[in-house]
Amino acid sequence: MPKARAMPDEVSYNAAISGFSKASQWQLALVVLHETMPCIRVSPGEITCNAAITSCEKGLQWQLALRLLEVSMPRMGLIANRISYSSLISACEKSGQWKLAVGTLRKMSKLKVSPNEISFNAAISACGNDQWPLAIRMLGQMPEIRLTPDSISYNAAITSCREAWKRALGVLSLMSDKRVAPDQFSRSATISACEKGAAWQLALSLLQAASDLWGVVLPNEVSYGAAIRACEKGGQWPLAVGLLAKMPEMRVQQNEISWSASMSACEKSGQWQLALHLFVRMRFAGVVPDRVSYNVAISACENVNRSVEALQLLLEMQAVRLEPDVVTYSTVVSACEDLESPAKVLELLAEMEARRLEANVLTYNGAILGCSKGTSPEKASQLLDEMKAKQVRPDPLTYTAAIRGAERCGQPCQAVKLLAEAHSWSITL
């Protein structure tokens, strides 16, 4: 007598869909739900659909997650539960759909589906930099419905305050008041907020506090990188370089971000030689420079009109297969503006076009200045015309350089015409 073959049941398919979810294979999860299960007459349940929504969340398919919850589940006679809604909120959070995430959280209450900490954490995380008041409001709502915010809740709120450093500090302080121990992420995110607010003193205080808790809250490369950038924005280049030097002592690995930020602090403070020295040192430290590192080094050369070094760095970038960007070319063009012949500047503009990089006002200003100072001042007006044709808005420096070129060419009428044109653009020279 032949043995009866066991047929897969709902539990088997639930396990399969969960497996596809963990492997980020959302397409296969949906095939099983919508095609395989109906074909052999196995009815999906809430667990099945929740697993499918989770697979869409991991695959950044928030539209499909929404359709599963609002269309597929009702058609199957299934009622979405807390897990369903929380998975949808997480899908929205991962895809930057903060309005839908917050709206779904509010909808849960209206439908008498009690949200939990996971629901709130995902909704708070969905709030970007511009939505920090909403994130803090939701954090405050949690205790009102007998939910206890955890470190994930607070960290999500701090992250939303990246552009509001005082609020970030307030949330960090609230953590301590509520006896929720700040972790590495809490302090790093708060230091990052201070960095964006140029509050370098507070950034250093927070970093020092983390260092004092050595073994409890370890400062990491993110913390140090943010603190160095805060010093950069505050014009504190000696502190930035000091923090970079201290990283190995604190067993924190230096990376391209910390090196580039230290270089930038020096470059912006006129310490171009030190910036270039750090650029050389980072390679000796085993850190490979990235595009930002090269751009900072080129900018250091540009500040003192070291065109030869700037061009060498551009060639070196291309040799190591780093794609120059608009910032790279604009800075190199500016570094070359004092060359007697504008040929190199025009060559760089052509190279940008070949790479499909759109020159901006800084690029054109450097090129127009180079032409107006060099042996081809007549090309300054031509570049201005090209700039307008490409819908790049000129600024006062553009017209000042172009007028200078016209005067050097012995074209006073052209100079007067450009002056009138600048006034028509409401540009004051």
Confidence (pLDDT) at 316: 95
Task: Give, in order, the Cα–Cα distances in Å from 290 to each of 241, 259, 283, 311, 331.
Answer: 19, 10, 11, 17, 16
Tell me what pLDDT residue 7 has: 45
DSSP 269-297: TT-HHHHHHHHHHHHHTT----HHHHHHH
Q: What is the pLDDT of residues 113-167, one digit of tens each?
A: 999 999 999 999 999 777 999 999 999 999 999 999 999 999 999 999 988 889 9
Q: How confident is the model at residue 88 (pLDDT cuts 50, 70, 90)?
A: very high
Please give the share of the chain, as a percent, with pLDDT higher than 70: 96
Write down how long the chain is.
429
pLDDT over 90 at 4, yes or no: no
pLDDT, average across residues 187-210: 86
Predicted pLDDT of residue 213: 55
Per-residue pLDDT at 250: 87
Answer yes or no: are the C-beta atoms of 190 and 168 closer than 8 Å: yes
Domains recognised in the chain with CATH numbers: 9-125 (1.25.40.10), 329-429 (no CATH)
Q: Give me the mean pLDDT over the 402-425 stretch.
A: 85
* 2, pLDDT greater than 70: no
Q: Indicate if the pLDDT at residue 421 is higher than 50.
A: yes
pLDDT for the residue 8: 62
Residues 406-421, mean pLDDT to the nearest whole number: 85
pLDDT at 244: 96
Instruction: Choose among 165, 146, 148, 168: nearest CA to 156.
Output: 168
Question: What is the rounded distance in angstroms from the CA atom of residue 265 to the CA atom of residue 240?
Answer: 7
- Distance (Å, whole) CA 162 – CA 221: 18
Mean of the pLDDT values across residues 298-323? 93
Average pLDDT score over residue span 259-287: 95
